[in-house]
Structure 1
């Protein structure tokens, strides 16, 4: 959990944030949420994963700041 009350889904090795979704399509607000988590945590890499797709590789977005 971040100090401001937000809860990220998964933090790997204190370096990578993984935000998990199951939506028909990822929206800009989902990416903005992950970017906010990255900025607040000091991490520079994140993955936005949507499990509501036929091929999982189509539901993965990598974000780096």
Structure 2
């Protein structure tokens, strides 16, 4: 097994987004849903939540 690191989608980190939940009409929703599913499926964690709060790591 190897470690995989992914970053929370950049488009969802934009200052103009800032929504806790993504509305259905958002063009970035598929990428966010895929990322959240990956986090859940692989039980990904934030290895350095203070220094890298948007990065998640999992064993795949």
Higher strand residue share: 1
Shared fold (TM-score, shorter chain, > 0.5): no
Flag the structure with more relative contact order, 1 or 2, with Cα contacts below 8 A and sequence separation at least 6.
2
TM-score, scaled to structure 1: 0.32
TM-score, scaled to structure 2: 0.34
